[in-house]
Homo-oligomer: A and B are copies of this chain.
Amino acid sequence: MESYCFGIDVGGTTVKCGLFHTDGTLLEKWEIPTRTENQGKEILPDVADTIEAKIAERGIDKAVVKGVGVGIPGPVNGQGEVLCAVNLFWGFTPAAKELSELTGLPAMAGNDANVAALGEAWKGAAEGSKNVIMVTLGTGVGGGIIVDGKILSGHHGAGGEIGHAAMNHQETDSCNCGNKGCLEQYTSATGIVRVALQELASGSEESVLRTVEKLTAKDVLDAYKAGDAAAVRIMEKVGDILGGALAVFSCVADPETIVVGGGVSKAGQPLIDCIQKYYQKYAFSLCKETSIVTAQLGNDAGIYGAARLVLQDA
């Protein structure tokens, strides 16, 4: 008999939901709003309601539903307990336990970036790899580490928080986290713009970037792909820091595949080539040939990974 599971990705404004066959086939996806009122206490009941409704709508026997996995934007420990989730207005929340009680189904929870990495390792860019590092270059920089096919949550649920690896002890600007020199300050979309403005100010070569009124990371990457000299200088600096950081992370986790996701990764192969050049320069000999690829599942990585969470010990 066919069996099912649900993968849920809770964001600050919407909750993405997926119904899957346990072989990883996505049958249907939909969204519900994230109700953050009342300290976000409605969120998990809303998730339970939409799951119950979907089960009823499809006439699925609940006995063949293996469970519900959920990705949460905050640190989550190995017991599926959320330490806090600022965007959901949550303090400590035993999300897996609560969701299991609400649905009557086995439930698991993980950090959203970690869960996305698990999704890419299951059915995305790193399919078939048991050991994966994913770095997500968006407004901030997130990450997830997959070891032997499972999320590395760590003791405080901070496993894979690679955006806050301090890569530059000489930095004088502060990161949003309060530290100085975090990877995020150079390689997020906003970080790339920050580096770009510094590099443009420190040189005087002609550049299309000097004509742009409100510079974005996409402007920098488009100019880089077009061979603009200043953009090349900017991205070589970004690539040195990101490739160097990934080389350090590889000394810890020795992945088979490194996945680069997030909005910045839409720049595609030229970005990957730039990262890989510096990764290979700095990586330990055994790890120099580790493949670096762009993410494939986009915004669906979270629901795939969340679904996978409940199948890990199956």
Contacts and interface: CB of A to CB of B under 8 A. Distances in A.
A312 to B, nearest CB: 12
Interface string A78-106: 10000100000000000000000000000
Given A167-B248, A252-B145, A282-B169, A287 B78 contact: no
Contacts of A250: 158
A283 B254 CA distance: 21
Counting every copy of the chain, the complex holds 2
Given A169-B240, A248-B248, A252-B249, A286 B156 contact: yes
A78 B148 CA distance: 9
A129 to B, nearest CB: 8
Contact of A248 (B166, B256, B282): B166
Place the interface of chain A in its size category.
35 or more
Contacts of A155: 129-131, 254-256, 290
Q: Which of A145, A148, A154, A166: most chain B Cβ within 10 A?
A: A154
A68 to B, nearest CB: 22
Contacts of A148: 78, 150
A161 interface: yes
Interface of A: 75, 78, 83, 129-131, 145, 147-148, 150, 152-167, 169, 177-179, 181, 240, 244-245, 247-256, 282-287, 290
